[in-house]
Amino acid sequence: MAIRLGDIAPDFTADSTAGPISLHAHLGSSWGILFSHPKDFTPVCTTELGAVAALKPEWDKRDVKVVGLSVDSVADHHAWAGDIADVTGSALNFPLVADPDRTVATLYDMIHPNADSTLTVRSVFVIGPDKKVKLTLTYPAATGRNFDELLRVVDSLQRTAQHKVATPANWTPGDAVIIVPSLSDTEAAEAFPGFETLKPYLRTTPDPR
Ligand code: BEZ
């Protein structure tokens, strides 16, 4: 069954390049990103895994633990890791789950048979500290993901989790944010003194970061 926003991210235990991993225990109280790759030793995936590894300081800054998944064995993953480091200059520094029997891929509905009957699509699940799914993305095999965008949405998710705000189109940290409509003007004035009213339903305030 499809996983929807607000659902508890299904827990699983599986082998990975970092040894056996149980998702919920591994994430602990951190944020998490589980993302799938169609197959080992494929070109787009190689660039993606290097790109995610290179962003480790950014994930750490946001308390995000990233977990990759590919429907091949741990032995294949370890062999492929050498290529990833060679090509991208960044060694794998997060667990890559082995899912040769597609148990996790099935649990997370990562195989879309009308796209490909055996390989996973490029799924992303952002998981909050409460283990609920906060954001999903689905890309086809031939389109590599933009991980800077993933950092941006994590920034938005964390901001909107901490404050009664939403983020507008193309928001990046430091830009003004939107006060959620459920807050009355009186409440808004208390929380965000000096906020601006563009329309009664569109009130902005400086980024509260
Ligand atoms: C890739 O990762 O390069 C890839 C995987 C499956 C289909 C097309 C591209």
Output the pLDDT for position 209: 87
203: annotated active-site residue? no
Could you write out the DSSP letters of every residue in 118-145?
Answer: SS--EEEEEE-TTSBEEEEEEE-TTS--
Write out pLDDT tens, residues 116-133.
998 999 999 999 999 999
Q: Which of 9, 45, 104, 111 is catalytic?
A: 45
Which residues, including other chains, have CB under 8 Å from residue 106's CB and lie 6 or more apart?
none
The pair phi, psi for residue 81, each rounded to 5°, is -55, -35
Q: Which atom of ligand 1 is nearest to the CA of 43?
A: 3
pTM: 0.96
Chain position carrying tokens 């607000």: 6
Q: Which atom of ligand 1 is nearest to the CA of 46?
A: 2
Element (H, E) at 166: strand 165-166
CA 59 / ligand 1 centre spacing (Å): 25
User: What is the average pLDDT score of the chain?
Assistant: 97
* Ligand 1-lining residues (CB < 6 angstroms): 38-39, 42-45, 141-142
Amino acid letter, residue 174: G
Mean of pLDDT values over 72-84:
97
Write out pLDDT tens, residues 146-202.
999 999 999 999 999 999 999 999 999 999 999 999 999 999 999 999 999 999 999
Q: Cα Rg for the chain, rounded, in angstroms? A: 19
pLDDT at 89 over 90: yes
